[in-house]
A and B are shown apart, each in its own frame.
Chain A
């Protein structure tokens, strides 16, 4: 049972940590004892969630190249290393959703920057830390949050679907390349959740038909733990 699981010593970074699935992951991982750093754009929201959870809040925009290494520096510096990165921050692209023929080039570009380039850049910046963790026998994993829109062609989901499909394939290739280094790469589709992002995409959807983000977060943490060696190999990091 996840509720019994002791995650002390596990060092996790989560993007999009002040809302929806990212926030549920922050709360769950902190509650289980993990050392968590989360990233989000809005300073006051970061401060609020940091105060609420005790996790380390980092203000940064995954869509800005200039922010990526600053974020990586703070993740590694605050956690003393990194065992898992969860790229959860996402954008829908244009909202309300529109057909591709009505999508501005800049809107598609922006979706690719946040949903594809952002996770690529941050993973690359933190790959050394993840490889170091794997070398030490702690294991390491990157989880990229995907969607069924990455696999199925849904009308009006062009910018989101194309960017998530690219992320899914990037994850699959990286998984092959990083296997020998001991860094696992997972692409996880959490399903339709009752989150602000889903409300933007499908206004008026019945929340009772949707997964609670807390349930999806629990499933993701289970997958993460399955990708890592047992807790015994993971000593609790001590910070001065």
Chain B
């Protein structure tokens, strides 16, 4: 599949997949005409930082590219976990990039107008923590002047910041664009409003999508902070009470909502951190459908779709995408997948095995019934996850 080189809001395509696996091909502009009155669409309004910084590793005199990859403390732009490459640029496939010079604690990096100090290397030669010299305003000014959006070889021309901000971009905390949001525009919002379809936002610090190293990539996504405003949590609560659908624009929205989920399918208004991957075993307590980009097998974004559809449907989706020339990557086309009614119950019973209903499910069981089954268990899983987060698991 050939990726799109730039945001293409006018001619993008949309593949919709309903809960039974039925597919429709539409222009993406048809998004405005989808969903039912009362349904609620949630989007990620994080703006994207110019998180790629070229410069020099002072100790060796060697060139280095630093890609900011995770917050050490959310909204403190002076400290980050980062990955580094040696010379070259994004036009070389990430997996072929040179290793950075050997990094030691205290090493200085000059990155345009910014100076960063290596706090300590992490457990991979590319991965380290850094601290910028200067206060918040100085660092943000330096990033704004010298930083470039992180980009990959499939888009050779340099991207400008305005090309990686969605229409709703607000708080600059993402390292790469929450790209499913490129499908959203204010016209769609207006039509949804006229049709009684709700819309609300949360903010999730979308992280880097590739490090170029298979073992490191397995650890993606890194822990990502999110913020769910009170208004958004209240809107979700109201929609859930009336059994309306929650549609997530993008995997980051799924991660945030499911991290903040209560047992009854409502979410907490909170500043939290989402960690770990969502996949086949993840019970979805909040999200009923996802609008996402076109991803390929093996990518963490694709794996997340297993929480929504079974392998047979995902195979059909992959086939349709290939057959009809859907474009992958962040500026490509979109897919809308409704969660298969059975998928939510793909998690162990108290004795570790699948439920009888899971074995025999034909997709006809009412959503109300399935919710009752996993409500108790999912609360327990959430507690385990919270405990793991408290112990610091998963942070780079």
Q: Which residues of A does B touch, CB under 8 Å?
A: 56-59, 66, 68-74, 76-78, 80-81, 125, 127-129, 131-132, 135-137, 177, 180-181, 239-240
Asked whether any CB of chain A lies closer than 8 Å to the CB of B76, the reply is: yes
Known contacts A128-B45, A128-B166, A135-B231; A77/B77 CB under 8 A: yes
Binds A, one of B59-67, B136-144, B218-226: B136-144
Known contacts A68-B162, A137-B231; A73/B172 CB under 8 A: yes
Residues of B close to A177: CB separation below 8 A: 186
Cross-chain contact of B167 among A128, A239, A240 (Cβ < 8 A)? A128
In contact, B170 and A81 (Cβ under 8 angstroms): yes
In contact, A74 and B75 (Cβ under 8 angstroms): no
14 A-B pairs with C-beta separation under 8 A:
A66-B160, A73-B47, A73-B172, A74-B141, A77-B172, A78-B136, A78-B137, A128-B45, A128-B168, A131-B168, A132-B229, A135-B229, A181-B186, A239-B75
Asked whether any CB of chain A lies closer than 8 Å to the CB of B165, the reply is: yes
Asked whether any CB of chain A lies closer than 8 Å to the CB of B303, the reply is: no
Asked whether any CB of chain A lies closer than 8 Å to the CB of B171, the reply is: yes
Asked whether any CB of chain A lies closer than 8 Å to the CB of B304, the reply is: no
- Quick one: which of B167, B168, B170, B203 has the most chain A CB within 10 A? B170
Known contacts A77-B140, A128-B45; A69/B162 CB under 8 A: yes
Asked whether any CB of chain A lies closer than 8 Å to the CB of B193, the reply is: yes
Residues of A close to B169: CB separation below 8 A: 125, 128-129
Residues of B close to A78: CB separation below 8 A: 136-137, 140
**How close is B139's CB to chain A, nearest CB, in angstroms?**
9
Residues of B close to A71: CB separation below 8 A: 144
Residues of A close to B140: CB separation below 8 A: 73-74, 77-78
Instruction: Tell me the number of A-to-B contacts counted with CB atoms below 8 Å.
Output: 88
**How close is B42's CB to chain A, nearest CB, in angstroms?**
12
B8-43: contact bitstring with A at CB < 8 Å (1 yes, 0 no)? 000000000000000000000000000000000000
Asked whether any CB of chain A lies closer than 8 Å to the CB of B200, the reply is: yes
In contact, A76 and B172 (Cβ under 8 angstroms): yes
Residues of A close to B229: CB separation below 8 A: 132, 135-136
**How close is B40's CB to chain A, nearest CB, in angstroms?**
13
Within 8 A of A (CB), among B121-147: 136-137, 140-141, 143-145
Within 8 A of A (CB), among B157-208: 160-162, 165-172, 186, 189-190, 193, 200-201, 203
Considering only CB atoms and an 8 Å cut-off, how many residues of chain B contact the other chain? 38
**B164: nearest residue on chain A (CB-CB)?**
A69
Cross-chain contact of A59 among B141, B160, B167 (Cβ < 8 A)? B141
A38 to B64 CA separation, bound complex (whole angstroms): 33
A31 to B315 CA separation, bound complex (whole angstroms): 62
Cross-chain contact of B137 among A56, A131, A181 (Cβ < 8 A)? A56
Known contacts A56-B137, A78-B136; A73/B170 CB under 8 A: no
In contact, A240 and B75 (Cβ under 8 angstroms): yes
Residues of B close to A137: CB separation below 8 A: 231
Cross-chain contact of A74 among B74, B144, B160 (Cβ < 8 A)? B144
In contact, B170 and A125 (Cβ under 8 angstroms): no
- Quick one: which of B143, B166, B169, B231 has the most chain A CB within 10 A? B169
Residues of B close to A128: CB separation below 8 A: 45, 47, 165-170
A81 to B75 CA separation, bound complex (whole angstroms): 11
Residues of A close to B267: CB separation below 8 A: none
**B202: nearest residue on chain A (CB-CB)?**
A132
- Quick one: which of A74, A80, A136, A181 has the most chain B CB within 10 A? A74
Residues of B close to A240: CB separation below 8 A: 73-76
Residues of B close to A135: CB separation below 8 A: 200-201, 229, 231-232
In contact, A76 and B137 (Cβ under 8 angstroms): no
- Quick one: which of A80, A81, A128, A132 has the most chain B CB within 10 A? A128
- Additional 8 contacts, C-beta under 8 A, given A66-B160, A69-B160, A127-B167: A58-B141, A71-B144, A77-B140, A131-B168, A132-B203, A135-B229, A137-B231, A181-B189
In contact, A70 and B171 (Cβ under 8 angstroms): no
In contact, B190 and A70 (Cβ under 8 angstroms): no
Asked whether any CB of chain A lies closer than 8 Å to the CB of B55, the reply is: no
Residues of B close to A66: CB separation below 8 A: 160
In contact, B165 and A180 (Cβ under 8 angstroms): no
**A67: nearest residue on chain B (CB-CB)?**
B144
Cross-chain contact of B230 among A131, A132, A136, A181 (Cβ < 8 A)? A136
In contact, B193 and A180 (Cβ under 8 angstroms): yes
Residues of A close to B165: CB separation below 8 A: 69, 125, 128
A187 to B144 CA separation, bound complex (whole angstroms): 30
**How close is A142's CB to chain B, nearest CB, in angstroms?**
15
Asked whether any CB of chain A lies closer than 8 Å to the CB of B116, the reply is: no
**How close is B173's CB to chain A, nearest CB, in angstroms?**
9
Asked whether any CB of chain A lies closer than 8 Å to the CB of B49, the reply is: yes
In contact, A69 and B76 (Cβ under 8 angstroms): no
A15 to B73 CA separation, bound complex (whole angstroms): 30
Residues of B close to A73: CB separation below 8 A: 47, 49-50, 140, 143-144, 161, 172
